[in-house]
Amino acid sequence: MSASAEATVLITHAVGLHARPSVKFTKLAKSFAAEVEVAVAANGPWFDAKSIVKVMAAKAPKGTMLHIRAKGDGAAQAVKALVDLVQRNFDEDADHARSA
């Protein structure tokens, strides 16, 4: 039996899941062996969280509940890391502070 995990997280980033956050999200998802999927509705459609094209196509604005699920090795760690990234506004606040 394969490990699995899922969670839901609110996007609070001012412009949502746009280009830079999408790149960070997919890069982090790719760092895990688990199969990771994401959706903007609980019943889907679900798409590959490791695909920048598919993640950007979601066009998830601020206020969207992002659904994340994973299965396989490191599933729980992958979901937790992605939820943490979204909750940290994709680390955009720190990036902007450094460049200001």
- Which residues are identified as catalytic? 18
Distance (Å, rounded) from C-alpha 60 to C-alpha 52? 13
Longest CA pairwise span in the chain (Å): 49
Q: Alpha-carbon dihedral of residues 75, 79, 85, 88, nearest 10 degrees? A: -140
